[in-house]
Amino acid sequence: MDDAGSVINWASENLKAHLPTSVNANGKYTSLVGHSRGGKTAFAVALGHAATLDPSITFSALIGIDPVAGTNKYIRTDPHILTYKPESFELDIPVAVVGTGLGPKWNNVMPPCAPTDLNHEEFYKECKATKAHFVAADYGHMDMLDDDLPGFVGFMAGCMCKNGQRKKSEMRSFVGGIVVAFLKYSLWGEKAEIRLIVKDPSVSPAKLDPSPELEEASGIFV
């Protein structure tokens, strides 16, 4: 978390100088996105747990991609941000939570990579509106990564978690599409894409089950 805070501080001051002249960095918008324990870290930073973060920096959106807070309810990563109370996260920014249907499943003798009570479902429950929830039913915790990851890390990613049998390219397209659509919705008020996915989940390259949810601050959008 402190590393993330330091990186955000650096980016707010120095990123523009390192971008091509054709790219306009708008420092008004800073969003947090993370996968797995990185997703939990993104939530923790947004909740104020990064001691290094410049307090003047604010966030415009938060996306957790199959966030995980530990191995089980008794072995959790610090800090313990989950309260197991609905809408308990003190966040006043739009939040999207992406989950996987196979994340809570055992992979033969290997325990779940995204166990029940520590995964996307609990993170979503503890968010306040505006919030969105999307679950790729046929995919596992690592299925948004590249097809063939090299080396020992690639081997472990392939065997530790329950993986789906469908093409990972579909999952990558789904995750990338959701991230872009939700950021357009959150930052610029472009609501058409995210609302289309909620109303017609069949447009997603990955099967979404249960049905996507989008709860806006003004009420539930269906």
pLDDT in tens, 5-15: 999 999 999 99
Q: Sort strands 61-65 and 31-35 into parallel, antiparallel or unpaired.
A: parallel
Rounded distance between C-alpha atoms, residue 79 and residue 136, angstroms: 28
Q: Which fold has domain 2-221?
A: Rossmann fold (3.40.50)
Active site residue 66: yes
Residue among 35, 120, 133, 141 flagged as catalytic: 141
Q: Which residues contact 15 (CB under 8 A, 6 or more apart)?
A: 25
Q: Sort strands 61-65 and 70-72 into parallel, antiparallel or unpaired.
A: unpaired
Q: What are the residue ranges of helices labelled H in 57-215?
A: 120-125, 151-160, 168-188, 192-199
Which among 119, 125, 117 is positioned nearest to 101, based on CA atoms? 119
Please say whether the beta carbons of 1 and 47 come within 8 A: no
Question: What letter does residue 16 receive in the DSSP assignment?
Answer: G
Whole-number pLDDT of residue 220: 63
Active site residue 36: yes
Burial class (CB in 10 A: 0-12, 13-18, 19+), 137: middle
Active site residue 147: no
Residue among 31, 35, 36, 133 flagged as catalytic: 36
Q: CA 30, 124, 132, 142 torsion: positive or negative?
A: positive
CA 165 to chain centre: 22
Per-residue pLDDT of the chain (222 residues; tens, 9 = 90+): 999 999 999 999 999 899 999 998 887 899 999 999 999 999 999 999 999 999 999 999 999 999 999 999 889 999 999 999 999 999 999 999 999 999 999 998 889 999 999 999 999 999 999 999 999 999 999 999 888 888 887 777 778 899 999 999 999 999 999 999 999 999 999 999 999 999 999 999 999 999 999 999 877 664
| Neighbour tally for 121: CB within 10 Å | 17
In three-state secondary structure terms, 110 is strand
Rounded distance between C-alpha atoms, residue 157 and residue 160, angstroms: 6
Residue among 35, 66, 120, 186 flagged as catalytic: 66
Q: Structure tokens of 63? A: 């996306």
